[in-house]
Copies of this chain bind each other. A is one copy, B any other.
Amino acid sequence: MQIGILYGISVGPGDRELITLKGLRILKESKVVAFPAGIGGKPGFAQQIVEQWLGSHQIQLPLSFPYVSDPVILAQAWLTAAEQVWQYLHLGQDVAFVCEGDVSFYSTFTYLSQMLQKRHPESVVQTVPGVCSPMAAASNLGIPLAVRDQRLAILPALYHVKELEIVLDWADVVVLMKVSSVYEQVWQLLDQRQLLKHTCVVERATLPEQVIYRDLRDRPSLKLPYFSLLIVKVTQS
């Protein structure tokens, strides 16, 4: 018997219509649909995005990925998840793992996939690309993310403001993902460089709850949710 395929399906940043035709087709064709489990019994984010497409014949497989940074706990969670997925794959059933945004872009899928291939080298993994949040945020802001010869830098998280200084010296456009925890420090630096006028923040891009802030000069502090990103246009286009 042939083993099943693990598909990593990008479902986009939140708007349910931003899944691709290919992602939706494979999602519907898969016997098992896996996703990161939600917190406190609530459905997870990727699960919410695709729930309208799931059929009663499909098995839903929530996988537990704890929100911690301890590498031992994380590795154990990925191992458990990989074995849960393998239980279906080795019976010849395809598993579609759905993840918000794009599957190649800072995605939990990478860890699941790497652990599966380490434990079961015979496994087959395929991915479907999708809409990542910087593209979606730019679209909803009504601005290009980058044009012509502009250099684009994307920072997933910021540990030292010094890093941002280096990037601002080099790039024409800078995207900071997950900016909430460092927003005030970032604001100070952008203020010093007189870039606040050319900076935007997008909370929960493409969701009905989306909030947009343009021109941050009057916003030295903002209470932002986890899914918030900041775009600095260092060079004007």
Binding site for B on A (CB under 8 A): 10, 12, 15-22, 24-25, 102-107, 110-111, 125-132, 135-136, 138-139, 142-157, 159, 163, 166-167, 170-171, 206, 237
Given A127-B139, A170-B166, CB of A107 within 8 Å of CB of B144: yes
Picked from B130, B145, B171, the residue with its CB within 8 Å of the CB of A104 is: B145
Residue contact B22 to A20, C-beta cutoff 8 Å? no
Distance between Cα atoms of A99 and B135 in the complex (Å): 14
Q: Could you tell me the distance between the alpha carbons of A166 and B172 in the complex, rounded to whole angstroms?
A: 14
Contacts of A129 in B (CB 8 A): 18, 131, 135-136, 138-139, 206
Q: How far is the CA of A206 from the CA of B154 in the complex (A)?
A: 24
User: Which of the residues B15, B136, B138, B153 comes within 8 Å of A151, measured between beta carbons?
Assistant: B153
- Report Cα–Cα, A149/B167, bound state, in Å: 15
List B contacts of A163 (CB < 8 A).
Answer: 151
Q: Are B157 and A149 in contact (CB under 8 A)?
A: yes
For A16, A20, A107, the residue with the greatest tally of chain B CB atoms inside 10 Å of its CB is: A20
* B20 & A131 in contact (Cβ 8 Å cutoff): yes
Q: Can you name 18 A-B pairs with beta carbons within 8 Å? A: A10-B135, A12-B20, A17-B20, A20-B20, A20-B21, A21-B21, A102-B145, A103-B139, A104-B139, A104-B144, A105-B146, A106-B150, A110-B237, A126-B142, A131-B131, A151-B167, A152-B154, A152-B155
User: How far, in whole Å, are A131 and B132 apart by their CA atoms in the complex?
Assistant: 8
Give the most central of A24, A103, A106, A126: most B CB within 10 Å.
A106
